[in-house]
Amino acid sequence: MTCRDGTSLASRIWSPQAPGPWPVLLMRQPYWRAIASTITYAHPSWYASHGFQVVVQDVRGKGDSGGEFGGFAQEAADGADSIRWARQLEGSNGQVGCYGFSYQGLTQLLSDDPTAIPDCLAPAMTGLNECCDWAVTGGAHWWALGLGWGLQLAAQRCQRRGDGSGWRAIRRSLETGSFLEEGLELLERHDPEGMARRWLLEPANGNWPCHRPPPTLLRQPMLLIGGWWDPHLGGILDLWAQSRLAGGLPTLRIGAWSHTNWQGGIDRLQLAFFQHHLQRQPLPPELGAPALLEDARSHRWQAPAAPSIQPVWGLASGGLAAIDSQEGQLVSPQASWGEVTLVHDPWRPVPGRGGHLGLDPGPCQRGDIDQRGDVACFTSAPLPRPLRLEGRPRLSIAVEADQPSFDLCAALSVLDSTDASVLQLSTGMARCHRQPGRSSVLQLQLQPLLATLAAGQRLRLSLAGAAWPQIAVNPGHGDDPPGPSGPGHRVISLRLDLQQSSLQLMPLLDLDPGADGDLGPIGEPGAN
C-alpha cells in the first residue's frame, strides 16, 4: 500500500480457500511480516482457514517497507492509512479487526483520524505511555530489557543497510551477555536516533510522549490481554480503565504469562472474539465475563474479587533482618518496630531475577538471593487459612540514605512449610533522590498479581539496594548515568525505619463488580 506521503508499505496477505468477501484481520509490526508474531500467536493461515483475510504489514522503515523508521510517532498517520486501505482491499468485505502484542499492540490503538479505526481490536501486552509502560519502573530505566530490544531493532537497521559486521557485532554481544556492558555504545554506533537509545538517556522525570487513541476507538469492542510477568501489564490495566471511561465495554484476560510465553496461547479466545464481532456469530461462553484473571498459583481462572478490606502488614526486626533471613517479620501494622541498615556495594550488586523485568521472566526460586547479607527479609507467620493476594502491592517505608541517590528493590515470595522453596511472585523498585541523612517516607509499587497462598505457607518481603541487570546500578551521586557498576559508583548505606512501615494490596481494577453490569461467571477463558 501507499501512504499519504507516497511511502510504500509492504504487506503479506493470507486469504481463505472459500469464496469471499471476508473480514480482514490486520497486524502492523516491525519484525518482518513473514514472522507474523508466531512467537505468541498461531500462524495467519490458521485464522485464514476460519474465514478471515489476514494482512501482516511491515511498518515504515522496517522489513521491505519504504521510509525511515521513526518509532511510535509514525504510527497514527500510517495506521489510519492502513485501515482505509484494508477496507478497500480486494477480497475484503469492508470490515477490519486488528490484533498483535507489544509494538503491534500499540499500532492498532493509534490513528490521526477518528473515523479510520478498526471495527474491533485485540491489543496484547502494550501501553500508551512511553515512560512507565515501555521504559521506566519506579523511576529506574529498564536496563536489560531496554537494551536487548533496542539492539534487536538496531540489528534490523544494519540488515537493511547491508552492514553485516554491525549485525554480527550486535548478535555476538547479545549471545555473550556483553551487551549489558557495551550495549549503549552499540546503540550509539548503529542506531543513534533510535527510540530505545532515546528512552535510556531521557531522565525518568523528563518530557515523555503519552499516546492518546481517539475516543471512538476506545469505545470499539476490545479484547485486552495481559500477563502477570509482562512489563506492559500496567499499560493494559490503564487501557481497560480508559476504554471504560470513554464508554467502551472492554474484555480483559490476564494470565500467568510473561511477555513471550503464553502457556499455549490465546488464539481460540481471540478467534471467538473476531468471529463474534466480524462474522456475527453468537457470543461464546468464554467471552461472557468482562474480566477473568488466572491465579498464578492454582492456575484457575476467576473473576476479580469484589472490593473488600485487604490485609495490611507491618515490618519488624531487631536489626538482623539482612544477616538472618528468618529474623525479620511481617506483622500487624500496630506491631511494626525496629530498624535495619542495608549496605549496597556496587562491586557486587544484588541480582534481579525473574519477575516482569528479567531476561528470564516469570516466577523463580530466590532462596539463595535472600541468604545474602545485603538483602533484608521479612516473613509472616504460617497462614492459618488460604489467603488470596489480588491487587497492586504497595510498600510504604521511611528510608534514610548517606548518598544523594539510592534504589530500593522489593520482591514478594511465598515460602512452603519446610522453607525448601522461596518462590518469587512479584517485584518492584524505586529510584530515589533525597537529601543525605534525612529520613523520608518512600512509596514503592510492585507488579500486580493474583496468587492464592495455602494454609501453612508464609509470605515474605525482601528488600535490597539493587536488581542488576534488570535496572542499571545506581551510582549514588545523583547524576544517574545508565549502566553497570563503574569506578565512580559509591557504596550506599540505607537505614530502614520500620515503625510506620506498611505493605498493602491496592485494588487491581477501578471497578465495582456490582456496577455497570455483572462481571459474569467464574470459569475458564477458553484460552487454549
Domain ranges of the chain: 11-134+212-288, 140-201, 312-506
Single-letter amino acid, residue 328: G
Q: Given CA atoms 241, 242, 244, 248 in this order, what sign does their dihedral have?
A: negative
pLDDT (tens digit, 0 to 9) for every residue of the chain, 528 residues total? Answer: 999 999 999 999 999 998 989 999 999 999 989 999 999 999 999 999 999 999 999 999 999 999 999 999 999 999 999 999 999 999 999 999 999 999 999 999 999 999 999 999 999 999 999 999 999 999 999 999 999 999 999 999 999 999 999 999 999 999 999 999 999 999 999 999 999 999 999 999 999 999 999 999 999 999 999 999 999 999 999 999 999 999 999 999 999 999 999 998 899 999 999 999 999 999 999 999 999 999 999 999 999 998 877 889 999 999 999 999 999 999 999 999 999 999 999 999 999 999 999 999 999 999 999 999 999 999 999 999 999 999 999 999 999 999 999 999 999 999 998 778 999 999 999 999 999 999 999 999 999 999 999 999 999 999 999 999 999 999 999 887 778 999 999 999 999 999 989 999 999 997 543 333 333 332 333 333
* Homologous superfamily (CATH) for 11-134+212-288: Alpha/Beta hydrolase fold, catalytic domain (3.40.50.1820)
Is residue 466 within 8 Å of residue 409, measured between CB atoms? yes
- Residue 448 CA to residue 228 CA, distance in Å, equals 7
CATH hierarchy code of domain 312-506:
2.60.120.260
Query: Which residue matches cell numbers 521491505?
Result: 64
Provide the CA 384 distance to its chain's centre, in angstroms. 33
Distance of CA 315 to the CA centre of its chain: 28
Amino acid occupying residue 377? C
Task: Name the strand (E) or helix (H) holding 160.
Answer: helix 144-161
Nearest to 147 by CA among 429, 523, 484, 382: 484
403 neighbors 344 (Cβ within 8 angstroms): no
